[in-house]
Structure 1
């Protein structure tokens, strides 16, 4: 069972390290946690948290905290009371960020509306209900270029539909016919596609659910995001 230590107790523990000793301590904490959590859990990194005596631990794609001995694991959010800033949330957003240039447009279904000046990448599974809901909402956007990367993660049928969509004469039309109008894709599914590359990208960047959206600043929005939030994000990028 994971033990929890009160934040107040951790704040009271103050530990000072020099550069090398500090790095050694982080590696020791990481090793200790990895040993206790087991091989099924990947401890990616350990670094000092903004609170003295507290360490930020990246486990998979999530942030948790521990003490200097690696004895306790703390799950929750760190809030800076003076400003109301959610430090954990901000760090999580930074960890989830990608480089827009890492995306390969050649692997996506591209759709340009209006002047196409605003750019958005969407990772989608054709059998994902939330993806269908999102696609209907995205119809409200104008002056946008949308890159849709198919990642069939839900079922073998998702892979089949993805191939049929990408192998069609007009992949965007085939995709929208299915996602918005409910017209099942048909035809060949034996052409060369980018599905393997898209799946590899998703694995590398921890995209485990659909839909997942990315903006040009690299920020990640998971789930069927409201159109108002998408417009708000676009406005912040100007």
Structure 2
């Protein structure tokens, strides 16, 4: 499988890893239309090259990279950069020296926004700021120490005009105790209270209902989440893992979202 081939080539890459991450990325407009089917000669060369690694390769997204001569490819949540001639492959987010920031293409951000829109607002656990200026989508679990640290900052984030919308990402996987506990939280009468209690280490009363936990977990995987917390701005920029409130606010203001 392509994921295995890439793991051999690059080793395991953790995007969030329950830790503080690199600065947010600058946005660069794509030089050609994003696509998952069809495409021009460069896209076809990229598809052919990747099929040499995995005959069953099916991209989630292919579009122009934020620098010339490459296509930006998302497969199994991983972002790759493949040269237009199909010869070279890289797995590292580019850095814009002039902007002094990591860089994302508008095509990739649009792709992420489309995925995030699949998670209904009513299925999220929302801690709304009274005068919201920014909204972040946070993939979380109830065990991760940095998730708990972020949750302790909720009041400060809200005071800074940041609304926090939680999505479930039981990092121990489906079928784990983390997973069943998160179902119980999402099925609680007061989900906000239940989530806060769980993140404070209180036992989680068992509950079950029709719930979005598995769907949100799968969505996180599509977005490349493999650790928690994973924070996304409204424009699709992945802000990384835990950031103190002041740094998170500054990152959102730089991204314009």
Taking structure 1 as the reference length, the TM-score comes to 0.70
Q: Which structure ranks higher in relative contact order (CA pairs < 8 Å, sequence separation ≥ 6)? A: 2
Name the residue aligned to 2:121. Answer: 105
Q: Distance in 1 between matches of 2:204 and 2:163?
A: 23
Indicate which of 188, 210, 214 corresponds to 1:168: 188
Name the residue aligned to 1:34. Answer: 51
My pick for the range that moved more, 164-173 or 97-106, is 97-106
Name the residue aligned to 2:71. Answer: 56
Name the residue aligned to 1:122. Answer: 138
Q: Which has the larger radius of gyration?
A: 1
Q: Is the 2:230–2:240 Cα contact (8 Å) retained in structure 1?
A: yes
Q: Gapped runs of 5+ residues in structure 2?
A: 1-7, 10-38
Report whether the alignment pairs 1:183 with 2:199.
no
Name the residue aligned to 2:17. Answer: none
Report the CA distance between 1:124 and its aligned residue: 0.6
SS of match in other structure, 1:146: strand
Indicate which of 103, 112, 116 corresponds to 1:90: 103
Report the CA distance between 1:176 and its aligned residue: 1.0
Q: Distance in 2 between matches of 1:120 and 1:79?
A: 23
Name the residue aligned to 1:159. Answer: 179
Q: Distance in 1 between matches of 2:93 and 2:236?
A: 23
Name the residue aligned to 1:131. Answer: 147
Q: Distance in 1 between matches of 2:96 and 2:162?
A: 37
Indicate which of 161, 165, 168 corresponds to 1:147: 165
Q: Is the 2:93–2:103 Cα contact (8 Å) retained in structure 1?
A: no
Q: Is the 2:140–2:229 Cα contact (8 Å) retained in structure 1?
A: yes
Report the CA distance between 1:56 and its aligned residue: 3.0
Report the CA distance between 1:136 and its aligned residue: 2.0
Report the CA distance between 1:174 and its aligned residue: 1.5
Q: How many pairs are equivalent?
A: 210
CA RMSD, Structure 1 to Structure 2 (Å):
3.3
Report the CA distance between 1:232 and its aligned residue: 0.9
Q: Distance in 2 between matches of 1:113 and 1:80?
A: 32
Q: CA 1:77 to 1:163, structure 2 compared with 1: closer, same or farther past 3 Å?
A: closer
Q: Is the 1:168–1:174 Cα contact (8 Å) retained in structure 2?
A: yes
Taking structure 2 as the reference length, the TM-score comes to 0.66
Q: Is the 2:95–2:103 Cα contact (8 Å) retained in structure 1?
A: no
Residues 224-235 of structure 1 correspond to what in structure 2 (within 5 A)? 224-235=242-253
